[in-house]
Each structure stands twice: as structure tokens, then as C-alpha cells.
Structure 1
Amino acid sequence: MTFGATPPPSPRPPRSRARRFAPLGIAAWMVLEIWLLTVVGGATNGLTVFLLLLAGVLVGGAVIKRAGRRAWRNLTGALQTGGAPEAPRETGSGGTGNTLPMLGGLLLIVPGLLSDVLGLLCLFPPTGRLILRGADKLLTRSGSFTPGSFGDVYQQARMHRPDGKVVQGQVIHPDEPPAARRQDPPLTR
């Protein structure tokens, strides 16, 4: 038996189609945004394009700030009452909770007219519900996610490690008194 030997490299799993074409899609999106800005700039003037982009940044920042305050109020209210934070309700904001307003605000901040349109679609409740429904269908159809919310997926990912290793730990029950601390003998050399 030899010590310090490195194990043979494991073969890399094949890249998914989405990971393979994502950089190409992002590059095409950027080219489309720049082309659209030049078309609008040519039809109007540069000041109009600048004001449109500035308005997108200001409105997007206000939307993100409002959604963040709502999430913070939800969290502090839950901590004061001792419960868990509320899950997004189906009523109010079109059932989008804080996720789509945050995404819409972020898309408004990103420079570009197409991203501004998508950001506004995320903020409008009927189209927000359609976006959520489509994303839910896409994620549940892929087979790698279980039906439910992203919280369920996150919990499932935390519980099962991909390498199959078990992490040792200790379960602490709030009803039981704490166990006595273990005292190790001093080390002697």
C-alpha cells in the first residue's frame, strides 16, 4: 500500500445542452441589446436613449429597494413572533412574492431596452404569474427537480451530497437538557 498516491481522475460528466449554449445565448443577447440601442438612437437621438437607460436604472433600483424592504419586514416580523418567515402568498403582487419583483428590478437596472421590457413583464402581475407558471413547468419537467418550491429543492440539495458521503453530526433536541461537556485529558509528550 502506498501513501500519498493520487487517485485516478474521474471522468468529467458531459456538459448539458443548456451549459454548452449559455455563453452563446448571452453573447447573442448582448449583440441584440446593442443593435436595438443603436436603432433607437438613430431614430431619435442619443439623449433619448440615455434618458431611457437612466429611467430604467432609477425605476429598477426603486423596485429592488421596495421588494427588499418587504422581505426585511417579513423576516423581522417572523423573528419577533418566533415563527418562520411567511411563504409568498398567491394574493398580492400577483402571487409573485419577492422573487419576480427583484428579478424585474434587476432586469430594469441592466442596460438595454429588451431587458427593460422583460423587467416590466416581471413586474406586471398577470405576466408575472405566467412567467412563474412557465418556470415551474420547466423545472418540474426536467426531472432533476421535485415538484414544489425552490425551498424544497434547496432543502433536498442540502440533505443529499452528490458524492454520497455522510457527514457526522449531533442532533440537539430542544426538549432535552444539554449534555455534559466532554473533557479531554491534557496531551503529554
Structure 2
Amino acid sequence: MTTGAPTSTAPRRSPRPRTFVPLGIAAWLVLEIWLLGLVSQQLGGLAVLALLAGGFVLGVVVIKRAGRRAFKNLTSTFQQAQEAVQTGRPPTAPQPAAKGSGNGLTMLAGLLLIMPGLLSDVLGLLLLLPPVRALVSRRAERTLQKKMASAPAGSFGDAFQQARIHYPDGKIVQGEVIREDPSPDPTPRPPLTP
């Protein structure tokens, strides 16, 4: 008779990515600090401080420009909707932005530039390049579509897909569900008003 831990015949699940996130953040921080020390030995502490300050200023400028662009797009969309309401015509759908011109990745690049560290600055500068930004955007869109397609029924992804049902001409179908179930209580109820 042997005693020991029971063995399971179920297949082992691979660890979730979020278990490695703290380890990845710690490794990133150690690498950033090591790189800053290495560069400060070669160039001097004042040069590293100037690099970090320059990255911060550039990041603030990038985020400010992307924010202004996003606010301008939002304002023009609201103005078009207001004009449509005043004239009585249906509002037109907003024009899709050109591929790779999204403000989200530009703001992410600005945030990476603001973060102290040389690797984050390099990643932020790479994201400012339009071909890199377009590539990352396509990759993220493809990954999101795969996740949504493989979402189980009843999940958020399934609800998102159901909300995107359109007519072939692109118009959104609006309506309401009216149940015609017979009521078990034949007496009418008063309306719910305060």
C-alpha cells in the first residue's frame, strides 16, 4: 500500500498569461535600470538625464497632438449629428479614419515616451512610425477578431457580435421585442408613474 499525493488523470492546464505579468514587469524594470546604468557609464549621468527629459517632453507633445486630433474628430461628429437633427435628415455615419491613423496607438507611443527608461523610449519612437503603427493596428485587430470569434455563447464577445447585426446595406436594425404571452392575471395593472 502506497501513500502519497493522488495523481490526476486530467490534462494539466497551461498557466494563464496573467500569472507571468508581474514577473514580466519586474524583468522590464530590472532591464531598464541596468540599461540606464550602462548608458550612464558610457555617456555620463547628465546625458542620461537629458535623454529622459527629452523623452518626457516629446511624449507630452505627442499625447497633446493626438488628444487635440481626437477632440476635433469628436466635435465634428457632434456637429454633423446636430445639423442632421436640425434639418430632419438621418445622420450620416462617421467617415472611417485612414488605416494606421488612429489616435490610440499614438497616445500609447506618447505614454511610452513619458515613462522613464530607454527601452520604453525606443518602443514609443517605433510606434510613432506610420508603418509600424499600421502593422501593430492590423495585428491587434486580427487578434481581437479571433478572440471574438472563439468566444463562447453568452459571453461578452457573443453579445458584442450580436450587437453588430446589420442589414446588407449597412443600416442598423432598430426595434423592440413585443411579447404576446397571455397574462396569468386577467386584471389590468395601473401604469407605473411616480
TM-score (norm 1): 0.65
Contact 1:75–1:85 at 8 Å: present in 2 too? no
Residue 139 of structure 1 pairs with residue 138 of structure 2? no
- What is the DSSP-based 3-state SS (H/G/I as helix, E as strand, rest coil) of the residue aligned with 1:49? helix
TM-score (norm 2): 0.63
Distance 1:86 1:16 in 2: 42
Distance 2:97 2:159 in 1: 17
Matches within 5 A, 1:67-78: 67-78=66-77
Query: Do the aligned partners of residues 48 and 158 (structure 1) sit closer, same or farther apart at CA in structure 2, a change above 3 Å counting?
Result: farther
Distance 1:46 1:39 in 2: 10
Distance 1:155 1:68 in 2: 30
Counterpart of 1:88 in structure 2 is 97
Residue 102 of structure 1 pairs with residue 95 of structure 2? no
TM-superposition CA deviations, 1:115-169 (whole Å, max 9, x none): 00000111101111222233234334xx43249xxxx96971996xxxxxxxxxx
Paired AA for residue 160 in structure 2:
Q
* Residue 18 of structure 1: how far off its partner (Å): 1.1
Contact 2:63–2:110 at 8 Å: present in 1 too? yes
* Residue 38 of structure 1: how far off its partner (Å): 0.4
Contact 2:109–2:125 at 8 Å: present in 1 too? yes
Residue 119 of structure 1 pairs with residue 124 of structure 2? yes
Paired AA for residue 126 in structure 1:
P
Counterpart of 2:182 in structure 1 is none
Query: Do the aligned partners of residues 133 and 102 (structure 1) sit closer, same or farther apart at CA in structure 2, a change above 3 Å counting?
Result: same
Distance 1:145 1:63 in 2: 31
Paired AA for residue 22 in structure 1:
V
TM-superposition CA deviations, 1:58-81 (whole Å, max 9, x none): 000000000000000000111011
TM-superposition CA deviations, 1:19-77 (whole Å, max 9, x none): 11011001100100000000000001100000000000000000000000000000011
Contact 1:88–1:98 at 8 Å: present in 2 too? no
- How many equivalent residue pairs? 142
- What is the DSSP-based 3-state SS (H/G/I as helix, E as strand, rest coil) of the residue aligned with 2:138? helix
Query: Do the aligned partners of residues 153 and 100 (structure 1) sit closer, same or farther apart at CA in structure 2, a change above 3 Å counting?
Result: farther
Distance 2:95 2:158 in 1: 17
Paired AA for residue 122 in structure 2:
V
TM-superposition CA deviations, 1:84-127 (whole Å, max 9, x none): 6544322xxxx231111101000000000000000011110111
Cα-Cα RMSD: 3.0
Query: Do the aligned partners of residues 16 and 77 (structure 1) sit closer, same or farther apart at CA in structure 2, a change above 3 Å counting?
Result: farther
